[in-house]
Amino acid sequence: MSDEDPAAEVDALVTAIGPRLDSPAVSRRDVVLVTGPWMAGVTGLVAALAERLPQHTFAEPAELSPGEAPMAVIFVVSAAAELTESDCVLLDAAVEHTDVAIGVVSKIDVHRNWRDVLSANRDTLAAHAPRYAKVPWVGVAAAPDLGEPILDDVVDAVSAQLADPQVARRNRLRAWESRLQNVAQRFERDAEGAGRQARVDALREERSEALRQRRQAKSERSVALRGQIQQAQVQLSHFARNRCSSVRSELQADAAQLSRRTMPGFEAHTRERATAVVTEVSDGVATQLDDVADAVGVAMALPPLEALPTIDVAPPPLKARRQESWLMLLLGAGFGLGVALTLSRLMAGVLARLSPLLEIAAAVACVAIGLGVTFLVVNLRSLLRDRALLDRWAGDVTSSLHSTVEELVATRVLAAESVLTTELNSRDEAEGAQVSDQVSAIDAELRAHAIASARAAAVRDREMPTLQAALDAVGAELGEPGIPLPENCAEESAEADE
């Protein structure tokens, strides 16, 4: 056993447990690494030790390349202050592949209480990790302000540690330990998939956001459409009603001023005005509905109206009924007769004295005036009657116009609503298809992640027992049975044991 390379022996020991385990990729250099926090006195100690122990090589961290590991590590801290947690982490990195470590408290020439600091450091380090319990601690003054350097203890400690025939074996075991712990950590990280978990969470979030947005967009659109349509309906009815009542008053004014001459044109004029209102309302409806389509963001092509609705009202019944005419004639004649008699009475007395001829002429004139009055009364009465009649007729026309335009508004708004709803539904469907594509892409990625997680967990579960066995063996060799797995791995294997 003693003839063989101790490192190769250790490798054989571990690979017997895990044949597929890669050996640690470190190259061992025959140097003693001296390291420590800033201004601890490293450079001074390296120089002093090189002088005192010329058979060994001492190096500062910068002199080792990555992947190189020293034979032993001297960890220097100033006696000015006690060891801190960050100092311990520095040491952890320095002794990753090296078992032999010596703790040094420096500048003991100026810090009288260095022994207290030293024992406090020893306790702090032992508490940091079990492997440090056996680290020897010494005090030095490599470059004292006054007097000779104090180096005997460190020289003895270094010589004693390096004289141990087990040094190479212990260092190799330590290198294996770090290697195995790193591998275990890597398996654990892969199985836990911290990055993957974040991605999965992001995907889940994206998925529910996409679905939520789709639902929201859909309901927002239908609410907007309903609102716009209702508003258009109200505004257009109001517009139609307004137009009808203004035409009604316009026609009323016209009817009141009708003369016999203008009367025959009134019917055509009224119909023309009504048609104009229908056209106006129809245009208003088209514009308003285009605005609605713009507001809901849909291009709408309403089916065109075949023809504008017409106002279906019979012509005004201007022909007077017979009884009425007779009554008018009688009343007019009576009134004319009365006027003629009264006039002839008034004049008879005066004129009889002048000349009988004049009297006859006056009687004729009275008859003529009576006839004229009769004619005037009959005529006026019939004009007023016709005006009233036409006025009533115009009222009928406008109320018919009102119901026609109301119906026009209602039908057009309904048609627009159905076109817009169909349009929005088809847009919804397109969006729905797009979202479900997106969701299924997300689902596919989620599945892939789940598979990758399961694979990584399977690899971990398969490899972890071998790693643990190898770590146990290494620990036993180093005299530290039960080297713990890295924290999270330890929990896993505890669960596995259960």
Ligand X SMILES: Nc1nc2c(ncn2[C@@H]2O[C@H](COP(=O)(O)OP(=O)(O)OP(=O)(O)O)[C@@H](O)[C@H]2O)c(=O)[nH]1
Interface ranges with Mg ion (CB under 5 A)? 42-43
Q: At what angle do helices 6-17 and 356-477 cross, to 10 degrees?
A: 120
Give whichever of 43 and 436 is closer to ligand X, judged by the CB atom.
43
**Distance (Å, rounded) from C-alpha 416 to C-alpha 384?**
47
Query: Among residues 142 and 456, whose Cβ is nearest to Mg ion?
Result: 142
Among 39, 253, 364, 414, the residue binding ligand X under the rule CB under 6 A is 39
Q: How far is the CB of 41 from ligand X (least distance, A)?
A: 4
Nearest to 452 by CA among 193, 178, 212: 193
Q: Which stretch binds ligand X (CB under 6 A): 33-41, 65-73, 337-345, 432-440?
A: 33-41
- By C-alpha distance, which of 97, 157, 182, 165 is closest to 131? 97
Which whole-number Å values give the CA distances from 216 to 210, 219, 228, 251, in the listed order? Answer: 10, 5, 18, 52
Phi/psi of residue 75, nearest 5 degrees: -105, 115
Least Å from the CB of residue 37 to ligand X = 7
Q: How far is the CB of 110 from ligand X (least distance, A)?
A: 4
Phi and psi, residue 150, nearest 5°: -110, 105
Q: For residue 184, which of 498, 492, 495, 496 has the smallest C-alpha distance?
A: 492
105 vs 124: CA distance, rounded Å: 13
| CB-neighbour burial class of residue 231 (10 A; exposed 0-12, middle 13-18, buried 19+) | middle
Nearest residue to Mg ion on Cβ basis: 43
**SS3 sequence of 443-481:** HHHHHHHHHHHHHHHHHHHHHHHHHHHHHHHHHHHCCCC
95's contact among Mg ion, ligand X, none, with CB below 5 to 8 A by partner kind, is none
H/E stretch holding 69 reads: strand 68-69
Residue 313: both structure tokens together: 């009202």
Which lies closer to ligand X via its Cβ, residue 38 or residue 163?
A: 38
Return the one option of Mg ion, ligand X, none that residue 446 interacts with (CB less than 5 to 8 A, by type): none
| Residue 154 interacts with ligand X (CB under 6 A): yes or no | no
42 binds ligand X (CB under 6 A): yes
Which of ligand X, Mg ion, none does 40 bind, CB closer than 5 to 8 A by kind?
ligand X
Cβ proximity to Mg ion: between 43 and 400 the closer is: 43
Out of 18, 41, 336, 475, name the contact with ligand X by CB under 6 A: 41
Q: Decide if residue 148 touches ligand X (CB under 6 A).
A: no
Query: Which of ligand X, Mg ion, none interacts with 453 (beta carbon under 5 to 8 A by kind)?
Result: none
39 binds, among ligand X, Mg ion, none (CB under 5 to 8 A by kind): ligand X
Judged by CB under 6 A, the residue of 38, 303, 304, 322 near ligand X is 38
Q: How far apart are CA 434 and CA 423, in angstroms?
A: 17
Point out which residues pair with 100 in neighbouring strands. Answer: 72
User: Cβ 454 to ligand X, closest distance in Å?
Assistant: 49
438 Cα distance to chain centroid: 15
Please report how close the Cβ of residue 40 comes to Mg ion at its closest, in angstroms: 9
Residue indicated by tokens 């929990």: 491
Exactly one of 49, 73, 135, 142 binds ligand X (CB under 6 A); that residue is 142
Residue closer to Mg ion by CB (options 40, 285) is: 40
Nearest in space to 21 (alpha carbons), one of 188, 184, 192, 185: 184
Report how far residue 7's alpha carbon sits from residue 24's, in angstroms, rounded to the nearest whole number: 11
Q: Using an 8 Å Cβ cutoff, are 302 and 264 in contact?
A: no
Q: Supply the minimum distance, in Å, between the C-beta of residue 13 and ligand X.
A: 38
CB of residue 148 to ligand X, shortest distance in Å: 11
- Give the shortest CB-6-to-ligand X separation in angstroms: 32
Both structure tokens of 450: 């789940």
Instruction: Supply 213's token pair.
Output: 């947005």
The reply to whether 73 sits near ligand X by the rule CB under 6 A is no
User: In the range 99-118, which residues lie near ligand X by CB under 6 A?
Assistant: 106-107, 109-110
Distance CA 314, CA 465 (A): 105
Among 4, 22, 145, 312, binds ligand X (CB under 6 A): 145
Q: Which is nearer to ligand X, 43 or 57 (CB)?
A: 43
| Residue 101, H or E segment | strand 100-106
CA 143/CA 132 separation, integer angstroms: 27
Under rule CB under 6 A, residue 35 binds ligand X: no
**Does residue 40 bind ligand X (CB under 6 A)?**
yes
Interacting partner of 44 out of Mg ion, ligand X, none (Cβ under 5 to 8 A depending on kind): ligand X
Least Å from the CB of residue 47 to ligand X: 8
**Amino acid identity, residue 377?**
V
Nearer Cβ to Mg ion, position 36 or 332? 36
- In the numeric block, the tokens 């460190």 are attached to 154
d(CA 16, CA 233): 89
Under rule CB under 6 A, residue 173 binds ligand X: no
Binding-residue total with ligand X (CB under 6 A): 17
Check residue 233 for interaction with ligand X (CB under 6 A).
no
Minimum distance from residue 107 beta carbon to ligand X (Å): 4
Nearer to Mg ion (CB atom), residue 50 or residue 302: 50
Q: Which residues bind ligand X (CB under 6 A)?
A: 36, 38-44, 106-107, 109-110, 141-145
